[in-house]
Structures are given as structure tokens and as C-alpha cells.
Amino acid sequence: MEKGKYGLFIDYEFCSGCKACVTACKMEHGMEPQDFGIVLLQDGPRECTDGVWEYNYLPMPTHLCDLCADRVAAGKLPSCVHHCQDAVMVYGTVEELARKAAEAGKSDVAIYVR
Amino acid sequence: MSEEKLSAEEVAQEEVFSDGKTANIAGGELASDSEQVGDFVREKGIAYGMPYNNTYNMDLYPDQVRWKEGDLTATRTTMWSGPGCHSGCQIIFYTDEDGKLVKTEGDPNSPLSAGRLCMRCLELPQMVNSERRLKWPVKRVGERGEGKWQRISWDEAYDMIIENVRRIQEEYGPECIVSMIGTGRNVSQAIAHNQYANFGGADLTLCFLSGDSCMLPRTALCYVIMGNQWVADFSQFRARRYEDDPEYVLPEVAVIWGTNPVVCNSDAFLGHWIVEAMKRGTKLITIDPQLTWIGARSEMWLRLRPGTDAALALGMMNVIINEDLYDHEFVENWTYGFEALAERVQEYTPERVAEITWVPADQIVAAARLYAQAKPATVQWGLAVDMAKIGVITAHAIACLVGITGNIDIPGGNVLVDQAASLEFGYNSGIWELEGTDMVAKRLGVDRYPLKKYGFTASSQADSILQAIETEEPHPVKMLWIESANPIANMGQDAPRLYRALKTIDFFVVEDLFITPTAVAFADLVIPCAMSNERDCIRVWFDPLRTLTKASDKPFYEAKSDEQIMIELGHRIAPEKWPDFVQTDREYMDWRLMRDGVLDTDGTQMTMDRVEEKYHGMWYHKFRYKKYEIGGLRPDGAPGFMTPTGRYELYCTLFAAFGDDPLPYYQEPPTSPVATPELAEKYPYIITTGKRSFEFFHSEWRQPETISRQLHPDPMFDIHPDTAAKHGIIDGDWVWIENQMGKMKQRARLNPSLDPRVISTEHGWWFPEQEPAEPSLFGVFDSNPNNLIPQCENGTNGYGAPIKCAMGTVYKVTPENDTPEDQPSYQVCTTGYTHGKTHASDKPSFYDGWTPDYEPEGFFDIEEYWKTHERK
């Protein structure tokens, strides 16, 4: 895979932190317990001075993420994207993902370039 | 509406043993072929996402039960226990040439789960292929608790069961045999039918769950006041969902009441549907003592004191009625007792309710307005409703709130549902085998509790079973059959008391996936059951009817499906009750479809094969809204509800007949800062429990080889940082949590969203990596919140228990207070109590002492019931 060409788009407004991506990745690649292709970051629950509570999850791919090259070659989606329980993960070229982010017209979107 | 009214007797006759099976006439009507699973799911992309989502390559996910993908065989089916959950998602099992499960994927063809899969289903191959799984029947060879087993054959196991069942039937009577089930399992049909046909007794419970406090209080209440039960409508009962269903309307507001739906997915309701609705604009009000992820995305989060939900609902109604925000049309035409309710709620001003619930009055007012002014609005309620001593009353208060806003059976509201094909696959499965016996009348707890007596549930009362074991009144319990439940780890309160009582059982059988603490402590025989991928079965819990298809013909060693065990035992112990053509689980399904007269659209007999082939394993029935207008809720076809008044009863005429308060009210939990201030001085914190994690389903998934356990190695409890600091506790510390009944330890997780007076604990912990034998028992009592929660403290109707609102205190675990002898498991195994021999009393885990001071009117006659309900 050419570096910098493909990536993952994550609408973390709706990521409920279910760890389906973490588990799907570990199972797909048969990883050892200490290895992860994607991990889940958490912020909160934390009350800001304006009274708003922050409580966000954000999946983050690691160096072991190959965007499921074998699955993609076989015509499937990366396993994390396929199984995401809240459908917040999108796979595509960086250009495509940037376009989708712009068209979505919303905040709380992250794009990881792989 | 029709002036014709049903007598209480007629209602009871229709509703007895209802358990979801009532006269929902629309329930038998079939959705047309064009309304079954179709291409519209495929076009939606992933899990009903947004325009940005990818789409699945559907060429790789054909509309077939089986196909080949490289060297692997793919089987499309539904997942449902074991291991268990309440969801029933559609899954693809990939098996190798040896029939071994190597991989799972979510099924993109499913209108319900739409390709998604949770972490537990994704890691399922680890569980299915676990070396820890029970491979064959074993019998106990040492003392109970020694964990010494001898492998035996199935023939020997069946002989052992038959010998003991016959002995107990003859010496004590079949009523001395009790069967127990774990929550939400796809074994209701098997465990019930096995109990009734093979053992001849009628006692069946949700294990020892005090007050049957899991869905049953809510369900019973719904049957009493509306003759059916409601569910939040997220378009789940039709194959075309959301904007693809022209009749569906998205809820403007959804109230998430006492549940963390994306994590627990309870009651056959997939919490992620709410996220799908949120993306489409639904606003939320979340009612929870702590901030959940979904709470943080809500318009309003009401942080209430655990156990005070009824007061909050009454306070919201006070606002809605006094500000004239209720639905006049629905209230006048379809409800009963509004004036009485309006008078009752005057006692619950926002200010008084604020004092009770700790929710500020202005928030109560704002939430009431937001909910009442939205149309449609829905309520998704959860276990917190049941887990109060006034569980049924709490459900009544919330059901009144939904009723007066007119959100009943409308699109996007709370809709009334029947079971798919009206198939009797619940706790009444096989009940016909007890016809002509007095077993149903002898169910434990039935004489004390009118809701049980008059058949508003098909199970016995769990606490009454415990009392019968302890006192041998009204008769002893000689045999326990526990299928997929682990009461000292999870499904039973006052775990030490259960330990003391269950040691006295004469013959104890556990049917499970693993050797559990319950098996080691009590079982004489443990038999291995199959996992979901190893079963042919039908799932019936609302709609659609789903099939479970074996992923391969090769079993896991000698494990058998729950149905297969029931059938093989049945042919040996009660051959007259089991037709020759019923030899396999698949044949059992076809027999039951035939017996219940379930036909396909063209009038031919429905079979499991047909559901798989023609309906892709998901068979939808015609779901209609506003059934009360079209006579869809009553067997006489008249408009209205299946209640004595024919109306949605805000004032419950049956409660009045039973001598109970016909209107909802609030009562303090048995122990609370208000009810027992002297106890609160010593135990100042309210302990709520049952906080769910994505990793576990109750006591399952603790095996150290699973990803679940690796991601969540220790039991955690949540505590406010200020409270933690007061006790010198920092994040991650092991902490003792203790009250007047017992103690346990978990690790602290600082959570500023809690009220500093509340702590929140996890449940279901045992440690399969620890020593099985006593005094360890896999450490089952060490981190068990049930050590601190009473059994037999139930509401006057037998339902509900103060499980989520105990009191206690916390202190750090130190080397001095954490010796091997200090461990609760050691203490319980050696003294019967967590504190050691000096802790002589487990009060207030005393019997509540409630006895009916009235004679319920005897309007229900079981003989009459059988005359009209006899099955062909």
C-alpha cells in the first residue's frame, strides 16, 4: 500500500466506544494480546466551566494497521469499518475522505492518513 | 370506542400465562413478500449510516443460508446464546473443512443489525474453541465444593437424572423439582418444556433474581394496565426501516430511562438503533445516576438518586397535567382513571420531587415540557425500573406518563407488540403437559402474590423458591436444574445466603458452557450445552421470527444443544410425551411450528427450512400501529385495550381488586438516607450496581484468553473524585465496599459525573484462572456486589427488589486487611458469611414478612382456562 494515499474517516460524535473495531482488527489479524491495529482513546466524562460535559471516544489506528489490505483486495471493507456498530468509520482515498468530511458539514470528524 | 367491556374474569382468562402471548390479532398476519428482507438494506450502506458511509460489496454476501468463500464455508444465521445476550443479531459464521469456527462477520443483509457486530460476537471463535469449555458430561466424585469430577457418558448422565427425578417424584412429588434459567437466553422453550414434560413440576424462574427484577416487573405491569407490552419504536418491527417505511415517524424526543442502551442492548432492543435515530435528528433525555456516553449526547441529563424513578415520573406528570400539556384526545377516549391520577400527582410537586430525587426542580419541569411537547416521543426503559422494591409501581408511573401524552402505539412512540407468529416459545412452552395436574396452582409464591396467582407471568417467584429451600414450606425443594445461569456469581442476591441454602439441595444439575462457581459449589452433575453456532433453533422475542442454523454438523466434543438434551432425556423419561419424529433440535422446531399451527402466506405448514430458504432466516409479520382503534388488541375484535375497562388503565382496576394501590406512588427504598438515617451514618453511600461493559454479558466472558478479559481484567467501581480523596483512594486502587450485610472489593475508577454520595459497581465477576475448589470457588464472592444486597425484600406484588439502591461505605484494601482469610470467598466457604463467624446476622436480609391481609377475589378458574385454551 502506498503511504499517504488511503485512510480512515471517523465521525467521533457518534462513536459509542464499543470496541468492535479493536476486536475486529485483532481477530482479523490473529494478533497477540499486546498487539492492536487500532486502539480506543477516551476523553471524559469531564465537565467544562460552561457546564457542558465532554465524553468522547476516538479510535486511533496504530503501526500494525494495514487497512485490511487482504480484505480490501478481496472486495471487502476493512473489518473495523464493516463492523463499526455506530457506522462512524469510513474507508477511502484521502481525497475522497476529505471531500466526504466537507460534504458532511459537521464537526467532530477525524481523518487518519495511513 | 366500544362500550362493550370485558369482565376481570375474561381478561384474566385471556392473559393468564400470557408472557407475551396475548390476543394481538394483528400478530398472526403476515407481511407480504415485498415487505420481507429486500435490497433496501443493501442500498443503505453500513448500519443505516449517513451519506458518507461506504457500501458493502453485496456480491460477497449472497441471499443464501450457506456459500463457499475460498476454503471456508459461510453460514448466515442469528446469534443467540450461548454465550448470551438479548440482541439476536445476524451473523456469518465461517467454518473450515473440519467444521471448526474460524471467523465471524456481521451480516449486511439484516434489517436489524445491518452488518454491525459487537466485540463479543467478533471474538466468538475464542469462546467457541476454548480449551476451558466443558467437553462432556461430568459427575461429582468428591464433596461438593472440591471441584473433583469424573467424565461420564450421556447415557450415564441421563440414567442419573432419571433415577433422581423418579425418586423425588415418588417420595416428595414433582413440585419439589425446580428449573432455573439465565437472562434472555434462547433456551426458554427448552427449559420450560423440559421442566413441564420431563420433570412434571411447574416451577421455573429467572434463577434467584430477587423480585424477578429483570423485565418481568415492567412486563407484568404492562399486561395489567394495557393487556400487552410496549416497546420504544425505532422501526425495528418492519423490514423497511426509518425513511424507507412510509408510515414510520422518527421520535422527536426519546427518553432513555435507567438504561445504557448502547452497552447493554437489553430486552431484544439494540441500543445502536437509538444512535441511528440521533443521526436523523432525535433528541434525547437521559435519566441516570451517572453520565453515560449517550447521556452526554442528550438534550437533558437528569442525575437522579438511585431508586427514586417513580417519584420523578410522578413529578413530570404533575407538570404535564397542571400545565395542560397532556393529550386530551387520547386521555378522554382511551384511558381510564385520569381524574384520580391528576389528583394523585398533586402530591408530587417539582419541589418535593427534587428533594426526593436530587434532580433540581427546574430540570424536572423542563424535561416534562420537552417530553410532553414532542410528538411522537418515546421512552426506552431499562432494568433500573425493575430494580427497586416498588419496581412494578415505578413501571406504572412511567407507563402513565407515556399514556397521558398519547404516545401509545403510534409511529415513533411506544408500540404494543406480540411475539412473532404468536408462537408460544416462552415460559409456557410445553405447559399443556401439566393439564389435569395441580402443579401450576402449586407454583411457589403463587398463593402470596395475586399477579402470579392470576397468571400475569408464567414463572414462579424467585425469592419464594429460596424460602422454600430454607424452610421446606410449603414444601421442600429437592432438585434444582440450572441451565445457563450462575446464581452465586450473578443472578441472585445475597450470594452468601444462596451459598448456605443451595448446599442443602438433594440433587443439583447444572447445564452450562463451562464449569462455573455454581457448578463447583453445588452440582452433582454438569452437562455441556452447545453454543449458538452449534444449534438449530428458532428465536422468538417480538418480531421477526429468526432461525439459528448450525454452522457445521460437527459438535464441540460431546456438547449438545439445549433442545437435543431435552429431547433425548424426554424419550427416556417420558416417552409418551415425545413423538417419534422428534429426535433432533430441528425436528423439535418443526413440531412446534406445526403444533402451534404456524402457516406460511400460501397456507402451507411453516418449517425451519422454509424460514431459512424463503425468508433468509428472518420472517416478518404484519406490524400495525394504533391497534386499539381497529380492534387489534382484543380477541373479540372490539376497539380498545385488553383490560377490564377496555381502556389504558392509569387507575389500575386489577390492583384495586387485589387490594393494592390502584395508582402509582413513591416509596423510599428499604435502606436509604431518608428511610434509615441511623444506618446512613455508618454506611453513607448509595451503592448502585449492574454497570455494564461492552466486554461482558453478566458473568460471561471472564475467561482470561478472551479479548474481553484482556481489555477489562479487573472489576471496577465508579466513585466521585471528592469521595475518593476523602478516603485516600486514587484511581485504580483496590477498595473494600461494605455494608451491614457483607463486603467485597473492586478497583476504583474516578468518575466526576456521579453524585459524591453515590458509587456504582460492576457485577458478575468470577475469575476462571483462580482455584476452582473451595475455599476459593474461582474467587466468586470476592468482588460480588450481591454480598451487599438482600433477597426476599420484594414489593407487595412479589416483583421488584432494591438491587440498585443499597447503602455502604468504602475503605482502601491494605496488606493488613487483605490476607487470604479476609477474602470474602474464603469467609463464605468457611463460615457462610463474608465477615466471618462474628458476623452472625445478615439483617436486613430478613423476609419482608408481607402476607396478604385480604383474600383476592377468585375470578380465575384454571379449569375454565384449559377449556378455552387447550391446544390441539
Q: What is the pLDDT of residues B651-668, one digit of tens each?
A: 999 898 888 899 999 999
Chain A touched by B30 (CB under 8 Å): no
Given a cut of 50, whether residue B109 has pLDDT beyond it is yes
Contact predicate B49/A87, CB 8 Å:
yes
| Complex ipTM tops 0.85 | yes
Round to whole Å and give the CA distance between B715 and B784.
9
Round to whole Å and give the CA distance between B304 and B398.
15
Cis, peptide link before residue B844, omega less than 30° from 0: yes
Chain A touched by B58 (CB under 8 Å): no
CATH of the domain at B86: 2.20.25.90
In chain A, whose CA is at the least distance from the CA of B52?
A100
In chain A, whose CA is at the least distance from the CA of B119?
A20
Q: Do B272 and A16 touch (CB under 8 A)?
A: yes
Measured from the Cβ of residue B240, the count of other Cβ atoms closer than 10 Å reads 21
Q: For B44-59, what is each residue's pLDDT tens digit?
A: 667 888 999 999 999 9
**pLDDT higher for B857 or B387?**
B387
List phi, psi (to 5°) of B288: -165, 140
- Residue B114 and residue B236 in one domain: no
| A55 contact residues in B (CB cutoff 8 A) | 291, 293, 295-296, 753
Share the mean pLDDT of chain B: 90
Given a cut of 60, whether residue B2 has pLDDT beyond it is no
Is there a domain that residue A86 lies in?
yes
- Residue B242 and residue B106 in one domain: no
Given a cut of 90, whether residue B277 has pLDDT beyond it is yes
Cell numbers for B498 = 444462596
Given a cut of 50, whether residue B851 has pLDDT beyond it is no
β partners of residue B570: none
DSSP string, B567-616: HHHHHHH-GGGS-TT--SHHHHHHHHHHHTT-B-TTSPBP-HHHHHHHST
- Residue B117 and residue B235 in one domain: no
* % of chain B beyond a pLDDT of 90: 79
Q: Give residue B269's domain range.
A: 229-417
**pLDDT higher for B790 or A37?**
A37
Distance from CA of A64 to the nearest CA of B (A): 17
Band (A2; pLDDT cuts 50, 70, 90): confident
Q: Do A87 and B296 touch (CB under 8 A)?
A: no
Q: Give the per-residue pLDDT at B353.
A: 98
Counting every residue, how long is chain A? Answer: 114
Q: Give residue A15's domain range.
A: 6-113
Round to whole Å and give the CA distance between B662 and B396.
10
- Show which of B128, B161, B195 is a domain's final residue: B128
Given a cut of 60, whether residue B722 has pLDDT beyond it is yes
Give residues with Cβ within 8 angstroms of B47, minimum separation 6: A84, A85, A86, A87, B53, B113, B114, B115, B116, B272, B276
H or E element, residue B469: helix B462-471
In chain A, whose CA is at the least distance from the CA of B298?
A53
Round to whole Å and give the CA distance between B271 and B493.
27
Residue given cell 460535559 in the structure block: A53
Residue given cell 408500540 in the structure block: B415
Cis, peptide link before residue B306, omega less than 30° from 0: no
B863 SS3 class = helix
Q: Give the per-residue pLDDT at B859.
A: 36
Q: Do B54 and A46 touch (CB under 8 A)?
A: no
Q: Which amino acid is at B519?
A: A
Cell numbers for B218 = 415492567
Nearest to B296 among A55, A75, A79 (CB): A55
B253 SS3 class = strand
Q: For B169-211, what is each residue's pLDDT tens digit?
A: 999 999 999 999 998 888 999 999 999 999 999 999 999 999 9
Residue B750: CA atoms inside 13 Å, Cβ hemisphere, count? 17
Measured from the Cβ of residue B799, the count of other Cβ atoms closer than 10 Å reads 30
List phi, psi (to 5°) of B565: -65, -45
Taking CA atoms, B248 is separated from B19, B89, B236, B282, B628, in Å, by 27, 22, 10, 13, 18
Round to whole Å and give the CA distance between B5 and A44.
55
Contact predicate B93/B551, CB 8 Å:
yes
Cell numbers for B28 = 398472526
Q: Give the per-residue pLDDT at B126.
A: 96
Round to whole Å and give the CA distance between B635 and B15.
11
Is there a domain that residue B508 lies in?
no
Given a cut of 50, whether residue B863 has pLDDT beyond it is no
Nearest to A55 among B122, B278, B293 (CB): B293
Given a cut of 50, whether residue B217 has pLDDT beyond it is yes
Alpha-helix residue ranges (DSSP H) falling in B727-845: 824-831
Band (B20; pLDDT cuts 50, 70, 90): very low
Q: Do B262 and A87 touch (CB under 8 A)?
A: no
List phi, psi (to 5°) of B588: -65, -45
Is there a domain that residue B863 lies in?
no
- Residue B114 and residue B245 in one domain: no
Round to whole Å and give the CA distance between B865 and B319.
43
Given a cut of 60, whether residue B817 has pLDDT beyond it is yes
Cell numbers for B832 = 457462610
Query: What's the predicted TM-score (pTM) here?
Result: 0.94
Round to whole Å and give the CA distance between B872 and B585.
22
Cell numbers for B327 = 393529550
Nearest to A100 among B52, B115, B276 (CB): B52
Is there a domain that residue A65 lies in?
yes
- Show which of B371, B391, B417 is a domain's final residue: B417
Contact predicate B196/B430, CB 8 Å:
yes
Is there a domain that residue A68 lies in?
yes
- Kindly tell me the sign of the dihedral angle through the C-alpha atoms of B477, B510, B785, B257: negative
Round to whole Å and give the CA distance between B598 and B605.
6
Taking CA atoms, B191 is separated from B203, B574, B849, in Å, by 11, 15, 31
Is there a domain that residue A1 lies in?
no
Given a cut of 80, whether residue B732 has pLDDT beyond it is yes
Give residues with Cβ within 8 angstroms of B614, minimum separation 6: B600
Round to whole Å and give the CA distance between B507 and B166.
12
Give residues with Cβ within 8 angstroms of B775, minimum separation 6: B825, B826, B828, B829, B830
Band (B37; pLDDT cuts 50, 70, 90): low
Q: For B544-582, what is each residue's pLDDT tens digit?
A: 999 999 999 999 999 999 999 999 999 999 999 999 999
Contact predicate B494/B741, CB 8 Å:
yes
- Kindly tell me the sign of the dihedral angle through the C-alpha atoms of B585, B586, B590, B593: positive
Chain A touched by B731 (CB under 8 Å): no
Cis, peptide link before residue B376, omega less than 30° from 0: yes
Q: Chain A residues with CB-CB distance to B under 8 A?
A: 9, 11, 13-14, 16-20, 22-24, 26-27, 33, 44-47, 53-55, 57, 74-77, 79, 81-88, 90-92, 100-101, 103-104
| A45 contact residues in B (CB cutoff 8 A) | 290-291, 296, 751-753
Band (B43; pLDDT cuts 50, 70, 90): low
Chains A and B form CB pairs within 8 A to the count of: 133
- Residue B111 and residue B237 in one domain: no
How many domains is chain B built from?
Answer: 3
Q: Give the per-residue pLDDT at B563.
A: 97
Cell numbers for B686 = 448509595
Counting every residue, how long is chain B? Answer: 872
Q: Give the per-residue pLDDT at B38.
A: 58
Taking CA atoms, B493 is separated from B62, B394, B420, B533, B781, in Å, by 47, 20, 33, 32, 12
Q: What is the 3-state secondary structure (H, E, C) of B355-417?
A: HHHCCCHHHHHHHHHHHHHCCCEEEEECHHHHCCCCHHHHHHHHHHHHHHCCCECCCCCEEEE
- Rounded mean pLDDT of B438-458? 85
Distance from CA of B670 to the nearest CA of A (A): 31
CB within 8 Å of chain A, chain B residues 105-134:
105-106, 108, 115-119, 122-123, 125
Nearest to A14 among B118, B278, B711 (CB): B278
Cell numbers for B213 = 427484577
B237 SS3 class = coil
Cell numbers for B506 = 438433594
Contact predicate B46/A83, CB 8 Å:
no
Q: How many helices (H) and strands (E) does chain B have?
A: 30, 28
Distance from CA of A54 to the nearest CA of B (A): 7
How many domains is chain A built from?
Answer: 1
Q: Do B291 and A55 touch (CB under 8 A)?
A: yes
- Residue B240 and residue B363 in one domain: yes
Distance from CA of A86 to the nearest CA of B (A): 6
Q: What is the 3-state secondary structure (H, E, C) of B479-517?
A: EEEEECCCCCCCCECCHHHHHHHHCCCCEEEEEECCCCH
**pLDDT higher for B62 or B303?**
B303
Q: Measure the CA dihedral B45/B48/B51/B57, to 10°.
A: 0
DSSP string, A37-92: SEEEEEEEEEE-TTSPEEEEEEEEE-TT--TTHHHHHTTPPPHHHHH-TT--EEEE
Spatial strand order of the sheet with B283-287 comes to: B300-302, B283-287, B253-257, B377-381
- Residue B112 and residue B246 in one domain: no
Band (A40; pLDDT cuts 50, 70, 90): very high
- Rounded mean pLDDT of B159-164? 98
Give residues with Cβ within 8 angstroms of B34, minimum separation 6: none
Is there a domain that residue A90 lies in?
yes
CATH of the domain at B236: 3.40.228.10
Q: Give the per-residue pLDDT at B44.
A: 67
Is there a domain that residue B858 lies in?
no
CATH of the domain at A27: 3.30.70.20
